[in-house]
């Protein structure tokens, strides 16, 4: 059966206002920031809670990332059926309240439960906020690229802001301050966001692939998203301690290391802008294959590097990890009608984030048992799986 061509969505006259688009991008930055505060402060928290090593406390964050994935499916369903505006309000206020709970914890068990609640509310953004942002975009690749840059700047901010807050005000402030920001954003969002009806009640505006080709595309998207999220979780949750380990001979100050790590994320984040523009112009399949293939030698080289040589490799490595992120959302925009995009995104996020949450659980034990060199070689192997999976994208992915 011949694959139907799929036209790019046409911008509507009532396209999003600039304040709403800005808030949706800020929400993405906040989403990644709140999930990585713990990783940036784990050493200090472990010491306060009586753990001898940070690796032993790291598994307590697993619930947050598991909930982040598991909650995406119901969040996506509610986004389409109830509405994206009320779900985003739930996101802003829920994340803020749960961050306050984390700041109030006094034991590792309480911390794990509060972090899991952060993951529950943080799970709303990706299946709801991104479809809301791109639903009226004439250049979805560019829109997703800018949104991806915002998310990665949130990762960079997590490194530097957490480092500074921990140093001068304590680790609890590192959670409380973003909590205040989230609630403030929710108040502004309530004033500027308008939604006439839930997406599921709107008329269809996109042709669809034949069922077999659509199932194949969804399977490949989910697999490549899973491997990409594994790499994302291993790197973003481990980079703080990895940088401390590999830069020990040249930099030891925690604040300086936080700034160096933030710089890695800021520079690497611009890869998403470039990839977003390329997605609007060139075949997705070819681009994804190239980016995933380049990750492999970068991870291998980083496994054996130290000092400033490692730092330069870290920038390149993260540029290609971040550069792979826009593909899954761009493919969903290309293949799935807006009426059910939140549900489609939610299903793939639940699978990919649910599996990749294992990276958070395994990170500490793996590094403790085998070291960062083994972890980087493992990531090279995971990138190889991405290359194989991307080769099976359907023909429509060429357009």
CATH number for the domain that contains residue 146: 1.20.1250.20
Q: Is 26 inside a domain boundary? A: yes
pLDDT computed for residue 13 by the predictor: 35
pLDDT band at 190 (very low <50, low <70, confident <90, very high): very high
- CA 351 vs. chain centroid, Å, equals 14
Q: Is 169 inside a domain boundary? A: yes
Number of domains in the chain: 1
d(CA 63, CA 72): 14
Q: Is 4 inside a domain boundary? A: no
pLDDT computed for residue 212 by the predictor: 67
- Give the residue with greater pLDDT, 14 vs 183: 183
Q: Is 71 inside a domain boundary? A: yes
d(CA 111, CA 38): 10
Q: Is 7 inside a domain boundary? A: no
Q: What percent of the chain has pLDDT over 70?
A: 91
Please report the DSSP string for 162-177 in residue order.
HHHHHHHH-HHHHHHH
> Residues 289-306: pLDDT tens digits?
999 999 999 999 999 999
Range of the domain at 242: 18-398
Helices (H), the chain: 18-48, 54-57, 62-70, 72-81, 84-103, 108-122, 125-134, 140-169, 171-192, 211-246, 254-279, 284-303, 307-323, 326-335, 341-356, 358-390
Q: Could you give the dihedral angle defined by the CA atoms of residues 292, 359, 180 and 109, in that order, rounded to the nearest 10 degrees?
A: 180
């Amino acid at each position: 059966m011949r694959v139907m061509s799929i036209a790019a969505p046409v911008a509507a006259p009532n396209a999003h206002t600039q304040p709403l688009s800005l808030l949706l991008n800020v929400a993405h930055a906040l989403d990644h920031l709140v999930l990585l505060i713990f990783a940036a402060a784990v050493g200090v928290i472990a010491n306060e809670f009586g753990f001898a090593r940070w690796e032993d406390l790291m598994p307590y964050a697993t619930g947050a990332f598991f909930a982040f994935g598991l909650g995406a499916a119901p969040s996506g369903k509610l986004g389409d059926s109830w509405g994206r505006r009320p779900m985003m309000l739930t996101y802003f206020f829920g994340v803020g309240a749960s961050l306050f709970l984390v700041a109030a914890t006094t034991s590792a068990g309480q911390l794990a439960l509060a972090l899991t609640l952060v993951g529950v509310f943080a799970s709303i953004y990706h299946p709801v906020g991104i479809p809301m942002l791109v639903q009226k975009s004439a250049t979805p690749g560019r829109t997703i690229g800018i949104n991806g840059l915002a998310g990665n700047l949130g990762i960079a901010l997590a490194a530097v802001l957490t480092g500074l807050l921990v140093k001068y005000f304590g680790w609890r402030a590192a959670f409380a301050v973003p909590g205040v920001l989230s609630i403030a954003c929710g108040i502004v969002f309530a004033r500027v966001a308008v939604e006439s009806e839930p997406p599921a009640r709107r008329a269809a505006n996109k042709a669809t692939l034949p069922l077999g080709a659509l199932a194949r595309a969804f399977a490949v998207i989910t697999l490549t998203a899973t491997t990409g999220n594994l790499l994302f979780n291993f790197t973003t949750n481990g980079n703080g301690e990895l940088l401390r380990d590999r830069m020990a001979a040249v930099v030891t100050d925690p604040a300086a290391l936080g700034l160096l790590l933030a710089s890695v994320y800021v520079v690497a984040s611009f890869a998403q802008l470039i990839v977003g523009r390329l997605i609007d112009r060139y075949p997705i399949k070819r681009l994804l294959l190239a980016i995933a293939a380049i990750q492999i030698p970068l991870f291998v080289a980083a496994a054996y590097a130290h000092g400033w040589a490692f730092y330069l490799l870290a920038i390149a490595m993260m540029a290609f990890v971040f550069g792979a992120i826009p593909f899954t959302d761009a493919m969903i925009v290309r293949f799935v009608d807006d009426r059910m995009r939140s549900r489609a995104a939610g299903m793939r996020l639940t699978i990919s984030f649910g599996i990749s949450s294992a990276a958070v659980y395994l990170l500490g034990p793996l590094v403790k048992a085998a070291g960062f060199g083994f972890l980087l070689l493992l990531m090279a192997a995971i990138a190889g799986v991405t290359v194989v999976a991307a080769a099976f994208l359907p023909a429509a992915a060429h357009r």
